[in-house]
Amino acid sequence: MAMATSGKAGKTAKANTVKTESRESDQPVKLTLYLSSKLAKQFATHAVQMGQGKSDLFAEMVQAHCRRFIVHDHAKEEGRARAAGQTGAGGADENAP
């Protein structure tokens, strides 16, 4: 018969996530893709015929076909510029007319 008097009884605290220092690692990351049934079967068949797992085949395809855009860590580049004695990422020519 006792009731909780706290209005927050049904809510749970959100877990704080900790970001790792390095965003790039060799550990696999789960990726969910939605394909049509036909494409999913075609992809799975291709992986089997090539003697590869689907994850390995997908990684190979991304490496071969997705080279146009590259992600840069601008903070890391700025740190290198400062270590080299430059004032900014653009070097001494930043203030040139």
Q: What pLDDT score does 89 carry?
A: 47
Per DSSP, the three-state class of 44 is helix
| pTM higher than 0.75 | no
**Is the confidence at residue 82, as pLDDT, over 50?**
yes
- Vertex 24, ends 21 and 30: CA angle to 5°? 110
Structure tokens at 36: 């049509």
Q: What is the pLDDT of residues 4-35, one digit of tens each?
A: 555 555 666 666 665 555 556 788 899 999 99
Q: Averaged over 60-78, what is the pLDDT?
A: 83
Q: What pLDDT score does 76 carry?
A: 73
Domain ranges, ordered by start, for the chain: 54-85
